[in-house]
With several copies, the nearest count.
Chain A
Amino acid sequence: MSIQVKFFASLKERLNIEDRQIATASTAGEAWDIVTNKAARPDNVLVAINLEYAAFDDAIKEGDEVAFFPPVTGG
């Protein structure tokens, strides 16, 4: 078991990271720090844990999928 970390759209391009697996992390914010090597978090970055909107401080566990992305612009 591991934690899947995903990035989308402009954030994916800017950080040049699409998809990483990490062994463990206690919060979404810690997963961000591990994968981005503590890159500054843009103010408006959105977080989803297991396909639901969440916050950087929310707890995660092994097996979870954490995603980071910019404000959405669909429709």
Chain B
Amino acid sequence: MASRILEQAFDPWQLISQHQADNKLSIQFGATATFIGTMRDFNDNADVSAMTLEHYPAMTQRYIDKLIDEAKQQWDLLDVLIVHRVGNIKPAEPIMLIACWSAHRRASLDACSWLIEELKHRAPFWKKEVRLDGERWVEKNTDGL
């Protein structure tokens, strides 16, 4: 299990691949479900040229680790990797990576979906968009979209 807050752009597939190689998941996992959230260049129809992600460093790391613990209690997971970007983000850069490994598919898929919503609606991160018409804090994440 691992979580990282990164201030630099990252390659999600490389991080997942590396995590899987570094952690001896051996041959017990049959299922890997992943989700990558990436910065788009438009939101609410206003062009967004960049984004700043602020967070509450001490609480963020703790909160994400708590989410991983809760996911492990709810589902039979062999491993979880969560990476969340902070700082200045450009379009097409990944913002969030969630990867769950389990013996059977339902656990990793359900845990991955649950972690997405928890990270979006509970973890202390805040997005500010740089738009054609100026900067704007994102007030609310969409529900389940």
List chain A positions with a Cβ less than 8 A from chain B: 6, 8-10, 13, 48, 51, 53, 67, 69-75
Chain A residue numbers with a CB within 8 Å of B56 are: 6, 8, 48, 51, 67, 69
Chain A residue with minimal CB distance to B120? A75
Chain B residue numbers with a CB within 8 Å of A10 are: 126, 137, 139
Other 6 A-B pairs with CB < 8 A, given A72-B123, A74-B120, A75-B95: A8-B126, A48-B124, A70-B137, A70-B139, A72-B141, A75-B37
Chain A residue numbers with a CB within 8 Å of B84 are: 74-75
Chain B residue numbers with a CB within 8 Å of A72 are: 120-126, 141
Interface centre among B96, B116, B121, by most A CB within 10 Å?
A: B121
**CB-contact partner of A74 in B58, B127, B139, under 8 A:** B127
Chain B residue with minimal CB distance to A10? B137
Chain A residue numbers with a CB within 8 Å of B62 are: 51
- Does B55 sit within 8 A of A, measured CB to CB? yes
- Does B128 sit within 8 A of A, measured CB to CB? yes
| A71:B124 contact, CB within 8 angstroms | no
List chain B positions with a Cβ less than 8 A from chain A: 37, 53-56, 58-59, 62-63, 84, 95-96, 116, 119-128, 137-141
Chain A residue numbers with a CB within 8 Å of B124 are: 8, 48, 69, 72, 74
| B58:A75 contact, CB within 8 angstroms | no
**CB-contact partner of A73 in B63, B116, B138, under 8 A:** B138
| A75:B125 contact, CB within 8 angstroms | yes
